[in-house]
Structure 1
């Protein structure tokens, strides 16, 4: 990269708190086209992140080219991770974006190791790989290339319409490995979407991206989540959402109620007090104390609303918590224990035998970069 000749690891007295000694920090950048956003370019030491065995996530490996996200979704569950950098989970998460400028090169080295078992890799689990910063840094083409060249299947979950830029490359990659694409669209009311997800493309633009991916040969999954209690959980709103999803050509839907993890919870409730104060007491009842998930009673009630509508619209669909740990989720990379039987469900509808290591690698300590 063009910044690798610069001195690294020195103290910068003008840096944000937590970034003064950030190993690999190259520079911090602001540009007029991204008003209010600062990009902190770093040289990553690792690219592959191993998901802890105790996690309920249905995949073992992730790659996150960015930390922080200018999509600025007030409910984003990843907000709390910014606090590890001594940045706040609110405004800083939206405006202080860490960019791993050498992520493709580091990933290529990791995938070439003899110990790599070509297990599926998931992109988009922490922050969005197709957020607006990707238009500037173009990290995803390199990541796609090295994954395909190494024979590693992968999945992408995004809200970003920049995905369309890479569809030809993704189609070529899918000739070599399984590639799964999923689009996250939680809100179909334009005014509410702009208030809750101010940095995201509109639902219409995302649906057009679903249509383009379908035309490129992918069976696209839409994540209709989070469904917001009292805001997007009416029968009329769910029916409208599923109608538009089906018209765009998606074949399956994963739905789920709002999660409010630490960091996200405080930020969301602050937003709710400003925009819908009449709902604050109800939300505090649904998510009391440190509770991050909606109660089972609400989730059961929601499923009874969504499932009949999925059948009406001819969509394959399941709730996110319908997947016990170890079962593959359509549109997502599957965990190794789910693949023990040799079957992986992909968004192209194929079942693929996978090699699984006899002994899973020991979980490495968590790394930010």
Structure 2
């Protein structure tokens, strides 16, 4: 079902198919200052989402005030969740955005229940809570207030510089509950960043936000993920990324290689064929068939490349990409395939990589925190 041609302020009667399973649609809105985007305002029945018990993550609950994301990152693992509402995981995910306009009020009620155990809650594990829509709807202050007043620790991962708006509120929250903040910055080449993440703030703006977070007295991890084979895995790019993160004040760096699950893969490959057609055969070899994860040999090679850079810049490694059976030694590695001077990545492994790493090292799928595989109802 496609939701197009809605007029500003027009209210829809009843509930559309797909969305009816979870929420009541209030109206669909197109605003001039958000050209190309449609906001579908819904009344959420719940705010807290329980993380499946098998997930290797340090939190049990998440909150997603928005569904779909105007950041439009071609590699975004959350794209398939849009299909549950009869929307596609490509253009619809980028432009047809679900907004839970009452999420703060619902959250307050849920956190006031006697059964609530004040377990850590994570924001930004599915779609970004500080995407452009937050500038219009300002849902995060209500969420932060509800978590703080209930004594619930929480974390925020975002690519959105709008986080800076709420730093005073987060500083006040920290006096009552633990608050962890992290900024996702995967690409440090401006042209590539605009191409593959067209709706995100610039890398420089996000680094400035890291500095603002540190100036506000918080630690701030930088998520250098996903690392894109043959595009952002050069020693020069990684060294520049880690150096700039360090200069911005990052307290640690988290990294993992690109993975392509489900309908994300054809959407990413469409972009790759248009922008870097010479790399399509190499990516097909690395991610054959339904394989979602980079081969373990590549992940080991990447770890061998990035660890010395983290040490040289004296940055803590927040988590690392894991490899089945431990990180392979350089002697057992396949020799990198040459791609220009000082450039290379291992040949794709014949064996399909394991889809989950160890709990200790947070696995190669750290970038989606195992949530993309969960039931769609959990994500709403």
The number of residue pairs the alignment matches comes to 329
Unaligned runs of 5+ in 2: 1-9, 324-356
Q: How big is the shift at 1:240?
A: 0.4
Q: How big is the shift at 1:266?
A: 1.1
CA distance 1:230–1:328, shift in 2 (3 Å): closer
Task: Report what 1:194 is aligned to.
Answer: 194
CA distance 1:203–1:261, shift in 2 (3 Å): same
CA distance 1:365–1:285, shift in 2 (3 Å): closer
CA distance 1:109–1:306, shift in 2 (3 Å): same
TM-score norm. by structure 2 comes to 0.82
Matched, 1:324 2:324: no
Q: How big is the shift at 1:8?
A: 8.6
Is the partner of 1:222 in helix, strand or coil? strand
Does the aligned pair in 1 maintain the 2:12–2:25 contact within 8 Å?
yes
- The 1-side partners of 2:19 and 2:60 are apart by 29
Q: For each residue in 1:179-238, what CA deviation from the matched residue of structure 2 results, as whole angstroms up to 9, or x when unmatched? A: 000000000110000000000000000000000000000010000000000000000000
Does the aligned pair in 2 maintain the 1:58–1:325 contact within 8 Å?
no
Task: Report what 1:218 is aligned to.
Answer: 218
CA distance 1:29–1:280, shift in 2 (3 Å): same
Task: Report what 2:262 is aligned to.
Answer: 262
Q: How does 1:240-319 map to 2 (within 5 A)?
A: 240-317=240-317, 318-319=319-320
- The 2-side partners of 1:10 and 1:152 are apart by 35
Task: Report what 2:377 is aligned to.
Answer: 366
Does the aligned pair in 2 maintain the 1:226–1:258 contact within 8 Å?
yes
Task: Report what 1:208 is aligned to.
Answer: 208
Task: Report what 2:179 is aligned to.
Answer: 179
Q: How big is the shift at 1:325?
A: 2.3
Q: How big is the shift at 1:263?
A: 1.7
CA distance 1:118–1:364, shift in 2 (3 Å): farther
- The 2-side partners of 1:120 and 1:219 are apart by 17
Q: How big is the shift at 1:364?
A: 9.8
Runs in 1 of length 4+ with deviation above 4 angstroms? 6-9, 19-22, 326-329
Task: Report what 1:50 is aligned to.
Answer: 50
Matched, 1:124 2:124: yes
- The 2-side partners of 1:166 and 1:48 are apart by 21
Does the aligned pair in 1 maintain the 2:322–2:361 contact within 8 Å?
no
Q: How big is the shift at 1:328?
A: 8.2
The one of 5, 8, 14 equivalent to 1:10 is 14
- The 2-side partners of 1:155 and 1:22 are apart by 25
Q: How big is the shift at 1:22?
A: 6.4
Is the partner of 1:77 in helix, strand or coil? coil
Is the partner of 2:122 in helix, strand or coil? strand
- The 1-side partners of 2:188 and 2:375 are apart by 40
- The 1-side partners of 2:87 and 2:375 are apart by 24
Is the partner of 1:223 in helix, strand or coil? strand
Does the aligned pair in 2 maintain the 1:251–1:315 contact within 8 Å?
yes
Is the partner of 1:181 in helix, strand or coil? strand
Unaligned runs of 5+ in 1: 1-5, 336-362
Does the aligned pair in 1 maintain the 2:77–2:264 contact within 8 Å?
yes
Q: How big is the shift at 1:20?
A: 6.9
Is the partner of 2:224 in helix, strand or coil? strand
- The 2-side partners of 1:327 and 1:229 are apart by 21
Does the aligned pair in 2 maintain the 1:58–1:328 contact within 8 Å?
no
- The 2-side partners of 1:49 and 1:276 are apart by 38
Task: Report what 2:102 is aligned to.
Answer: 102
